[in-house]
Structure 1
Amino acid sequence: MDNVRGFDEDRTGTDDEAAYAGGAEPALDIGSDERRMHVRAYNHWVSLLRGRAYPSIEDLDPASIADFGPHSVLLDFSRGIEDPIIAFLGSALREECGLDSSVTQISQVPSRSLLSRLTDHYLQIIANRAPIGFEAEFVATRGHNTMYRGILMPFSSDEDTIDFIYGVINWKELVDAETQAKLDAEVAESVRAAPRTPANAPVWADGPSAGFDDADSAADAESVESDTASDAGADDGTPVLGASLSDQLMLAQQTAAAVRAHDTRSRATLYRALGRAHDFAACADADPAGYQALLDKAGIAVQLRAPMTPIVKLVFGPDYDKTRLTEFATVLSHARREGVATGGLGAFLDGFEGGIKGVVKAERALRQPASKAPTDPSDALRSRPTLASVSIDTHVARGDYVVLLARAGAGDTLDIVAAIDDDSVLTHRAMRAAAD
């Protein structure tokens, strides 16, 4: 059964962690390249929006998209939604499904073909009016168990009506569990048995190799092994050693794109994206000139009062929901305040009561200025010298205060015309004014 997710549900303003409260990641593991294809397709759709509700179909040319065009299909609803026309079918998808040029409408697509898994969701695009992603596995017509991941994106000819839908799908055929276990064991053994390539250059005491020792070589090997593992599967949030600032940003953006697209709708994905943003912020501290160049290129201004806001704008995109960007920036600020190490933000959020909301609340509480304890104005007035003493019949007890209303008389005299002893609010206001 397909697992369907809205790619643009983050614009509805729902609670962050409620939206990603799926717990563990789905069991499907299609691989980083397939995931990135969906991210790239979604980013391409976003780049064509240009302030409109939907991209114009005139701006889309699937045949010219070498990256994911062969894995895509364009559906034309201009003549009705009951049986849309297949306006474009990529070569890779056509070959996988074994279709020829005679298949031109949805009704002609075989029910157990990979294309049918994509086109089955087109009515949900019409209903949701936003991109939709989905993933599942099924037994195809050739009898192979196939795992796939797809995305459908709306297009319009008049900027209002959804009359075209562009879909991208990627897939791989699975082997049985026993064969997969053997393959995994063989790959792991090959990695362990592979000899290290010795350096060709001589080691100079004061030359390019100075300062490199066995510990550095081990760290390099660990970095390579970590990168290889990352390329082989989904992003696990492990810090990438030695990556440049641009590489760190690209990795963070790819992880954040999965959050934006709800590619894997879970709290773990959101925490991992924030962890990547935290790591990128640390990298930016070490390369301020490079960071400023990235900001200038993206047209994002530095904010002295909110230094983490440009970071999250770079990672999640400046058009992302502003409330969430503010919360994400607050999380990064609190992580910096608490000295959270690179690669440690995910664990920090997991262990923090209330998760993201709890961290935001804690950081905002620390930013609040210390409130002054309320003071009693009578304390300040108690030591004041008496200006004059008059005898007036009032009902006020000794030591209490009363407001006297006086009219200026001849010379320096004041003619008291009333004693106001029954208005506590007025009396307190007069006392506070006198104490200040």
Structure 2
Amino acid sequence: QPYSSVQNAFYALTNHYRHKEGRLVIAESTGLPIIDAQGKLLKWRGVDRDITARKHYEDALIESEKRTRLIIETTLNAIIIMDSYGIITDWNQRAEKMFGWTRQEAIGRNMAELIVPERFRKLVHQELSHFLITGSSRAIDQLTEQIALRRNGTEFPVELSIAPLKIGNAYEFSGFVHDISSRKAAERQIREAQVNLAIAQNEMKIAQQIQTSLFPAKPIISPYFEVTGFCLPATQIGGDYFDYFYRDEQHLDMVIADVSGHAVGPALLMVAARSAIRTQATWLGSPAQTLDVLNNFLYEDLYNADHFITLFYLQYYTTTQTLSYANAGHPPPLLYQKCNFSCKELDADGLIIGIRQNINFEEKKITLCAGDCLLIYTDGLTESQNPTGEQFGIDRLKTLFEKYADQKPGFIVDTLIQHLKDFCQSDLFYDDITVMVFKRS
């Protein structure tokens, strides 16, 4: 024994023993020497107390405290512990990085004076005092958004949660601070994007209204024929255009066009094409001549903008009931002939407008009989798809047109559009859909 030659008493000496069953026993020993009159050590008298369970508990508590400290130091939130007076008693590594103060510098400082902007400090002190008196507060035990202050004087938004813990007659407060600067910046960008989107949508709506105002305001109905048209705008402004007007007392001109693309550019090109067509209408000209003038007039604008126009031009001579027409790469109109109850396509050779200058456009003529009906459309009609990807298609269009060709033009237009919506299971379309119907009385 190390104390066998020492005559001083010892207290709470920890010893480790092995029980006969093999398990470890930890004992706390106290020893008192017994000495004779001559000062000679006779023997020791002592007590051993089994503290195995206590030692296990203490070791577990130490490990728990280590784990707790590890969690505190590795969390993404800044953790600040303060007493009832607002004095900081603990400050983790995240708080060091977030605010710029080291743990040694922060501990012992007043929390409000250290990380709260000066204009808010009085309110913080009032809230703390109010809680200590009443036990309630708008900021304590709540998740709130606040403005915090870094060491360098910069301010930033944080999400703050303060949890009170009563110890005896005093309180300890644990503050959990999360930097939300990135989230706030993202929210600001989203709000700005939403505002810009709303502005763009409003401008797009205005552009659609202007575009629609350029179409004929009402059908033309005479004792000899009736013509009407309709454009179903896409979600974006596009380049569809249709028109009908008297060139003179005996000639009715009809035109349908589609500028490639869906944006402001194609819409502006459509307006330019309309202006050129209306200007050309003041001169005497056939459909082929009109297309030739229009192509040369718009070539530079279309070439530089990397766009093109498909266009079908028709001219009805009311005296002879003759229909002349020329095509610039547009889907051929459908002619329903009352005499044989059949439907045929009208087509003529001609390149799309904007590819090259000085194009020779073929012009054809046909005489219309009473009851003949003409359907003119853009490819948005036949190329629209249902949810499975199937296109409306020319065959379906022909079948429906033959079925309703005996009806009035307005009824035919409305019916075709409704069939299209039913087929696509939607009222909104990516491409403009334009339909024009001419019928000889």
Superposed pair shares fold, TM > 0.5:
no
What TM-score range do you get, normalising by the shorter chain?
Answer: under 0.3
Task: Give TM-score, length-normalised by structure 1.
Answer: 0.22
Judging by fraction of residues, say which structure has more helix. Answer: 1
Bigger relative CO (Cα 8 Å, ≥ 6 apart)? 1
Larger Rg: 2
